[in-house]
Chains A and B, each alone.
Chain A
Amino acid sequence: MVNPYDKYAIEASVQLKEKFGGKAVGIAMAPPHAADALREVLAMGVDEMVLLSDPKLAGSDTLATSYALSVAIKKVEQRLGSVDLVLCGIESSDSNTGHIGPEVGEWLGVPSVSYVDRILEIKDGYAVVKRLIEGGYAVMKVKLPAVFSIAGTSYQPRIPSLRDVLAARRKQIDVWNADGVGLDPSLVGLVGSPTRVVKMWRIEIRRKGKIFTDSDVDVAIEKLLNELKKDGVPLGV
């Protein structure tokens, strides 16, 4: 499955490509079976996909993952010429850290901006972006190349048509391994990861989950107030 937050970034990349030309290349670091899901990215209009896949990458934390992705980006650069913009989602749906974008920026030595709502302009080697901050927004002018993490729902992901889906079948998915991209093996996987997960546990959902669907709203309200009384939090007193 493609991370839902990444679809905004994919949509942004395709819109930028449609406006300014150039090429949109997708990069995913994942196990080989992810290839199927990547067809959806191609159907949305991305020109080609790179799947970085290697057992050596297993167990990578954000520092190691961002390193691996940055090396893959450099490899794309060698093949296709300079990369102007790297777009990420605001967070992944499994780890939700939002850290990969800034960390990739650091490995590449270029600016990064998180919580980008909209790319307003691209001109003369700069991008003007609107980003969210607590309580409002900031507009900034950023020298390219740069890494943006797209938070905006302003890039509503397109639903590919049947034609797009068929066209995507003819597009290329390159599968790269660690040696192929020239990764330093000591910087990826468990050895390259400073953090260790030492314990995991399931949290019981403490919520009662009593949902009243009575078509007579008055009945539902009585039930609700009764339950609250039992809980010792009678409303309104």
Chain B
Amino acid sequence: MSNKILVYIETLEGLPAEHSLELLGKAGDLAKKAGLDVGAILVGYEVKSIAQELIYRGASEVHVVDDPRLGSYNLLPYTSAVVDVIKKTEPEIVLFSATVIGRELAPRVAARLKTGITADCTDVDIGDWVDPGTGRKYEKILYQIRPTFGGEIMAAIVTPQRRPQMATVRPGLFPIPPRDESRTGKVVEWSVNIPESEQSLVEVIEVKREKRKVDLKSARVIVSGGRGCGAKGFELLRELASVLNGEIGASRAAVDAGWIPYDHQIGLTGQTVKPDVYIAVGISGAVQHVVGMKDSKIVIAINKDPEAPIFRIADYGIVGDLFVVVPKLTERLKKKS
């Protein structure tokens, strides 16, 4: 009998990724509701030392695959490792973070197991469901909740029959569980079957990553700039941010242009933030940006194009040239304080 929820843990420089801990915490809540245990899947090379940390963060079992063949992330061998662990441990539910890695590893694993998967959940819950076709009742199954059709409609999705029930969950939505060194749990090491061929099909030639130094998660005010800003515009944003005691955010277009380092990027491939006030300046409002900031309490947009999509998700907007609006706003706020 399967009796657990497992969370796939991504690691970064020898530490569990924050979004993985977040998900572990959320899985712990679900486990309580469903009467299951919560565990972690930890795959990589020289990652074993992380297992204890996962126990402190709430995992009651950690399934480790520590293997030199898994030294750097490579989809096919990782798929085989995760599938093998799932077959051996038969979990009810397996959750992944909806990151660039999670969004390709999770579906690959699901397809190999011929089970269902829901992408980019903004919430997961446990509930009962009666199939209206057959009248059959499924108890304590996973409700996978996500926006669909461009985000205006929410859908709840279940995987009634096949196991495990799988989902990727958006990062940045749940609190990171506190570290509690009194927690205990078991660490299980698995050796897995990785076909020879899978190791040679894809060769990782180069990985370039910038380390994230700025943490925007706890910022109350974020002033964010996009392609409309230019290097000059970011100087104006810094002045505005300093009057507001805020931090600087950016769209990917601005990061790619080199006006601001990557650790300020907000969105799908950047950070997820929810400050009290988010001011988007010269940002058009592409979905990949919006997923990273849409839970901000108040969104203010400054853009010269009245049709820019960012205005559709803003509480307030000023249509105008940012090179005029931002300095005036900064001056006005200085006077006030």
Q: Which residues of A contact B (CB under 8 A)?
A: 61-63, 66, 93-99, 101-103, 105-107, 110-115, 128, 132-143, 149, 193-203, 205, 207-213, 217-218, 220-221, 224-225, 227-228, 231, 233, 235-237
Cβ-based interface call for B299 (8 A): yes
Q: A21 vs B115: C-alpha distance in the bound complex, in angstroms?
A: 38
Q: Which residue of A lies closest to B205 (CB)?
A: A139
Contact of B210 among A136, A205, A221, A231 (CB under 8 A): A136
Give the 8 A-B CB pairs with smallest separation, nearest first: A194-B116, A106-B111, A97-B119, A195-B116, A99-B107, A211-B317, A114-B104, A136-B209
A143 touches B200 (CB 8 A): yes
A111 touches B318 (CB 8 A): no
Contact of A63 among B114, B200, B332 (CB under 8 A): B114
Chain B contacts with A in 261-320, Cβ cutoff 8 A: 262, 269, 276-277, 287, 297-301, 306, 311-320
Cβ-based interface call for B336 (8 A): yes
Q: A3 vs B154: C-alpha distance in the bound complex, in angstroms?
A: 20
Cβ-based interface call for B196 (8 A): no
Given A200-B155, A211-B318; 15 other pairs, CB 8 A cutoff:
A96-B150, A102-B107, A113-B202, A128-B205, A138-B204, A138-B206, A140-B204, A194-B161, A200-B154, A202-B154, A210-B317, A217-B328, A220-B318, A220-B325, A236-B333
Cβ-based interface call for B162 (8 A): yes
A50 CB to nearest chain B CB (Å): 22
Chain B contacts with A in 81-112, Cβ cutoff 8 A: 99-101, 103-108, 110-112
Q: A190 vs B67: C-alpha distance in the bound complex, in angstroms?
A: 39
For A112, what are the chain B residues with a Cβ–Cβ distance below 8 Å?
75, 104, 108
For A202, what are the chain B residues with a Cβ–Cβ distance below 8 Å?
152-154
For A195, what are the chain B residues with a Cβ–Cβ distance below 8 Å?
116-118, 144, 157-159
A143 touches B337 (CB 8 A): no
Tell whether A105 pairs with B108 under 8 Å between CB atoms, given A114-B103, A236-B333: yes
For B329, what are the chain A residues with a Cβ–Cβ distance below 8 Å?
221, 224
Tell whether A225 pairs with B332 under 8 Å between CB atoms, given A201-B153, A210-B316: yes
Contact of B314 among A138, A211, A233, A235 (CB under 8 A): A211
For B203, what are the chain A residues with a Cβ–Cβ distance below 8 Å?
140-142
| Chain A interface SS verdict (over half) | mixed
Q: Which residue of A lies closest to B318 (CB)?
A: A220
Cβ-based interface call for B324 (8 A): yes
Q: A139 vs B316: C-alpha distance in the bound complex, in angstroms?
A: 42
B119 touches A99 (CB 8 A): yes
Q: Which residue of A lies closest to B220 (CB)?
A: A233
Q: A117 vs B128: C-alpha distance in the bound complex, in angstroms?
A: 42
Q: Can you name 26 A-B residue pairings with CB atoms under 8 Å?
A: A62-B107, A96-B120, A99-B103, A102-B107, A102-B108, A111-B76, A112-B75, A112-B108, A113-B104, A132-B100, A133-B209, A138-B204, A140-B204, A143-B202, A195-B157, A195-B158, A198-B129, A198-B157, A199-B155, A209-B314, A209-B317, A211-B311, A212-B316, A221-B328, A221-B329, A236-B337
Q: Which residue of A lies closest to B312 (CB)?
A: A209
A107 touches B111 (CB 8 A): yes
Tell whether A197 pairs with B156 under 8 Å between CB atoms, given A111-B202, A211-B316, A225-B332: yes
Q: A203 vs B148: C-alpha distance in the bound complex, in angstroms?
A: 11
Cβ-based interface call for B257 (8 A): no
Q: A218 vs B318: C-alpha distance in the bound complex, in angstroms?
A: 10
Contact of A209 among B104, B153, B201, B311 (CB under 8 A): B311
Cβ-based interface call for B1 (8 A): no
Cβ-based interface call for B244 (8 A): yes
For B298, what are the chain A residues with a Cβ–Cβ distance below 8 Å?
228, 231, 233
For A132, what are the chain B residues with a Cβ–Cβ distance below 8 Å?
100, 269
For A139, what are the chain B residues with a Cβ–Cβ distance below 8 Å?
204-207
B299 touches A212 (CB 8 A): no
A150 CB to nearest chain B CB (Å): 13
Q: A101 vs B100: C-alpha distance in the bound complex, in angstroms?
A: 13
Q: A59 vs B277: C-alpha distance in the bound complex, in angstroms?
A: 41
Cβ-based interface call for B230 (8 A): no
Tell whether A136 pairs with B262 under 8 Å between CB atoms, given A103-B111, A202-B153: yes
A205 touches B155 (CB 8 A): no
Q: A220 vs B321: C-alpha distance in the bound complex, in angstroms?
A: 12
For A102, what are the chain B residues with a Cβ–Cβ distance below 8 Å?
75, 104-105, 107-108, 111
For B118, what are the chain A residues with a Cβ–Cβ distance below 8 Å?
97, 195
A62 touches B117 (CB 8 A): yes
B315 touches A208 (CB 8 A): yes
Tell whether A99 pairs with B117 under 8 Å between CB atoms, given A201-B154, A209-B314, A236-B337: yes
Contact of A207 among B149, B314, B325 (CB under 8 A): B314
